[in-house]
Amino acid sequence: MARFDFCILGCGKQGRVIGNRLIDEGYKVCCIDISPDNLNLFRGTGYKIGIEDEKIISILEKSEIAINALPAKIGVKGLLRIKEAGRNAVDITFVEEDLGFYDPEVREKNISIVVDAGVAPGLSNICVGHAKSKLGFLKDVKIYVGGVPEKPIPPYNLVVHFNPEDLLSEYERPVRIVRNWQVEFVPPLYGLEEVEFMGKTYEAFYTDGLRTLTKKRWAKNMFEKTIRYKGHAEWIKSTDKNTLLSILKEYAEKDIEDALLFRVIAEGTAGKISYELVDFYDRERKETAMSRTTGYTALSIAELMLSGKITQKGIVTPEDVGKDKEIFNLIRERLRGFKINLKLISEKIS
C-alpha cells in the first residue's frame, strides 16, 4: 500500500504551494528537493536528495501520484524517474523538449502523465479544449496571460515567479503561432498590442505559450501573448543578457504582491466563448497569484488522477483534459473553492 498520496519533485515556489495545500486538504504528501531552504518551507515529509539519486524511485513507488515541479533544465530527468517508477503524474516543468517523444514509453508503462499543467500553458489549453468541445470548428484562438505587480513598482514594474534562467529563455525562444492552419515562427516580444483589465491598460507580446496546441492545430489561427506593464518589451529588447539575468535573479528573491491576468478568446462558426480570470496575492498564506493559479490547476488535475477521473494513458495534453466537459467543470469548481474564479464572460452559440 502506498505511503503517500502525492510525491512532489521540486519544492520551489510552485511545488511547496501545491504540497502545503494538499496537506491542508488532508492528503499524505512528500517532497523531494536538493535545497534545505526549500524543504524548510514545506510542512510535509521532505527528502533532501538530488534527481540523480536512485532513492527517488523507491520514494515514488510508495506514492500514488507524482507532481513534477522541477526547474525546466532538469524537468525531463524528473519525468524519466516518474516513468521508471510507473507512477501517474502531473508535470509543470515547462521544458523546451517535446515531451510527446516519450509517449510510447509512457503508454508501455500503462500510466498517464499530464504535461504543461500550469496556468499558461495549462489552464489556457484546458479552456481551448473546452471551447473545442462546445464550438467544434474554431477559427481564432487568442490567449493573453501574465503575472505583474499588483501595483506598479518602478523602474522595472517586475515580478519574477519562476527560475530566472527559464524566464530569460522565454524572452529569447522563437515563438510558434498558427496562421491559416500552419505553424509559423515569429520573434518573441513582438506583436505588441494593448489589453485592458480592471480599467488598466497593459501591453501584450508574443511568447511561446501555445506549446502542445501547435501540434493539435484545433484552430485556423492561434497565438499566445504575455501581459506586462507598458514598456516592458522594449526594456527587455534594449538590455543586454547578463544585465537582464542579474536583475531577474534579484527580483526572484523579492516577495512582491502580484496579480495574475488571464484571458482566452475562442471564436468559431458556431459562436464565441471568452474565459477570464484575475487573481491576487494571498496575504494570509503568503502565496503569489502566479503560484496559486499554476499550482492549484496542477493540484486539481492531480486530485482527478488520484480519484480515477482521468484515465487516458500516455503523455496527456491539458487541452485533451479540457475537452471533457465534466472534467473541465470539475477543475473550474475546484479552483473556485480556492477563490480562483474562472469566468465564462461571453457565450454565444448558435
- Render pLDDT for 85-117 as a digit per residue (tens, 0 to 9): 999 999 999 998 899 999 999 999 999 999 999
d(CA 38, CA 193): 38
Q: Do 53 and 130 belong together in one domain?
A: no
In a domain, 323, yes or no: no
pLDDT tens per residue across span 148-176: 999 999 999 999 987 788 888 888 889 99
Q: Do 32 and 156 belong together in one domain?
A: no
Q: Do 51 and 180 belong together in one domain?
A: no
Q: Do 78 and 127 belong together in one domain?
A: no
Nearest to 327, CA basis, from 350, 349, 304: 304
Q: Do 83 and 143 belong together in one domain?
A: no
Confidence of residue 348 (pLDDT cuts 50, 70, 90): low
pLDDT tens per residue across span 17-35: 999 999 999 999 999 999 9
Nearest to 68, CA basis, from 305, 334, 298, 307: 298
pLDDT at residue 226 in the model: 96
Q: Do 67 and 128 belong together in one domain?
A: no
Gyration radius from the chain CA atoms: 19
- 3-class state of residue 309 by DSSP: coil
In a domain, 329, yes or no: no
Give the end of a domain, one of 93, 115, 142.
Answer: 93
Give, in order, the Cα–Cα distances in Å from 224 to each of 115, 124, 140, 346: 18, 9, 11, 20
In a domain, 100, yes or no: no
d(CA 183, CA 188): 15
Grid cell, residue 28, equals: 499524505
Q: Do 180 and 270 belong together in one domain?
A: yes
Q: Do 171 and 254 belong together in one domain?
A: yes
Give me the half-sphere count of Cα atoms (radius 13 Å) on the Cβ side of residue 304.
29
Q: Could you give the angle at the alpha carbon of 62 between the alpha carbons of 59 and 64, nearest 5°?
A: 115
Nearest to 133, CA basis, from 327, 337, 285, 336: 327
In contact, 122 and 340? CB cutoff 8 Å = no
Confidence of residue 184 (pLDDT cuts 50, 70, 90): very high
The predicted model gives 178-189 an average pLDDT of: 95
In a domain, 277, yes or no: yes
Which residues, other chains included, contact 240 with Cβ-Cβ below 8 Å and sequence gap of 6+? none
CATH number at 73 reads: 3.40.50.720
Q: Do 88 and 136 belong together in one domain?
A: no
Grid cell, residue 193, equals: 498590442
Q: Do 89 and 136 belong together in one domain?
A: no
How many domains in the chain?
2
Give the end of a domain, one of 42, 76, 93.
Answer: 93
Which domain does 9 fall in, by range? 4-93
pLDDT at residue 349 in the model: 62
Highest-scoring range by mean pLDDT, 71-75, 127-131, 149-153, 169-173:
127-131
